[in-house]
Amino acid sequence: MSDPVHILVVDDHRDIRDLLGRYLRQHEYRVTLASDGRELRKLMGENVLPDLIVLDLMMPGEDGLSLCRWLRENYDVPVVMLTALGEETDRIIGLEMGADDYLAKPFNPRELLARIKAVLRRSQSLPSGRRGQMPGGEIGFDRWILDRTRHELRDEQDVVVPLSAGEFALLCSFVDHPNMVLNRDQLLDLTKGREAIPFDRSIDNQVSRLRKKIEPDPKTPTLIKTVWGGGYMFTAEVSKK
């Protein structure tokens, strides 16, 4: 038998932690509980590497956004974020920081379970199981520097090239998966998560716009190549700066 899926729940409210722990264990998940960012960092440092993290946004000390950014820079693990606010800006910021999904409190545990299953399906659908493995900070490719901390792209003369939030997310997805064919559904999952809708053609439009900004000749792309019948492949050599 395969090992049970391991879920790490990080929430400063003990009642919520215990409730989620019991509920997820009832559904045959292995569960570890943490009360704050310090416990999360300690567990990860001890090589307690879960399959998915449920992370509260509003916690004393280090908040969920900072922790999500740290996780994205250092680990290959999906994150479902919980927020008591449920405001549009918090949802967007959370997704931009790298959360795979979010759920507003109060919530039904059954809905959280459904979200967890959906995120795990998406993360496991990527080729070779690789997902978001390139660390954060500055990433170099071709003549470009992608600064994931500052959310900006610079050329070799240190000139910043403006990117929309969608273009930035798409470029991050490409540098995370170099030389891998990613179809439209996988790119939608990586950049838009559960907001993606069937037959969404926005990826094609964003690829076209991104090519105009980073390709020497957008009409004959060499960095983002189209794989007919498959999707797109990012062919540049990627390195940590």
pLDDT at 145: 94
**How many structural domains compose the chain?**
2
Q: Could you tell me if residue 130 is inside a domain?
A: no
Report if residue 204 sits inside a domain.
yes
| Residue 15 within any structural domain of the chain | yes
Residue 68 falls inside a structural domain? yes
Q: What is the pLDDT along the chain (241 residues), one digit of tens a residue?
A: 567 899 999 999 999 999 999 999 999 999 999 999 999 999 998 887 899 999 998 888 888 888 988 888 788 788 998 887 655 555 566 666 677 888 888 889 999 999 899 888 877 665 544 444 444 578 899 999 999 888 899 999 999 999 988 889 899 989 988 888 888 877 877 776 544 444 446 788 889 999 999 999 999 999 999 988 778 999 999 988 7
In a domain, 132, yes or no: no
Tell me how crowded residue 178 is: count the other CB atoms within 10 A of its CB: 15
Q: What is the pLDDT of residues 131-185, one digit of tens each?
A: 444 445 788 999 999 998 888 999 999 999 999 888 898 999 899 888 888 888 7
CATH number of the domain enclosing 52? 3.40.50.2300
**Does any domain span residue 1?**
no
Q: Is the dihedral of CA 41, 43, 47, 51 positive or negative?
A: negative
Q: What value does the CA radius of gyration of the chain take, rounded to a whole number of Å?
A: 18
Answer with the one of 56, 90, 124 that is the final residue of a domain: 124
Which 8-state DSSP code applies to residue 56? E
**How far is Cα 130 from Cα 123, in angstroms, rounded to an integer?**
8
How many residues does the structure list for the chain?
A: 241
Domain shared by 107 and 151, yes or no: no
Per-residue H/E/C for 118-184: HHHHHHHCCHHHCCCCCCCCEEEECCEEEECCCCEEECCCCCEECCCHHHHHHHHHHHHCCCCEECH
> Are 183 and 209 within one domain?
yes
- The CATH number given to whatever domain includes residue 161 is 1.10.10.10
Are 96 and 160 contained in the same domain?
Answer: no
Question: Alpha carbon of 53 to those of 40, 177, 208, 215, 236: distances in Å?
Answer: 10, 21, 34, 36, 31
pTM above 0.85, yes or no: no
pLDDT at position 199: 43
Supply the angle between the helices 109-124 and 14-26 in degrees, to the nearest 10.
60
End-of-domain residue from the set 94, 124, 154? 124
User: What is the pLDDT at residue 38?
Assistant: 94
Give the residue numbers spanning the domain of 169: 138-240
β-pairing verdict for 144-147 and 138-141: antiparallel
Q: What pLDDT is stored for residue 105 in this prediction?
A: 84
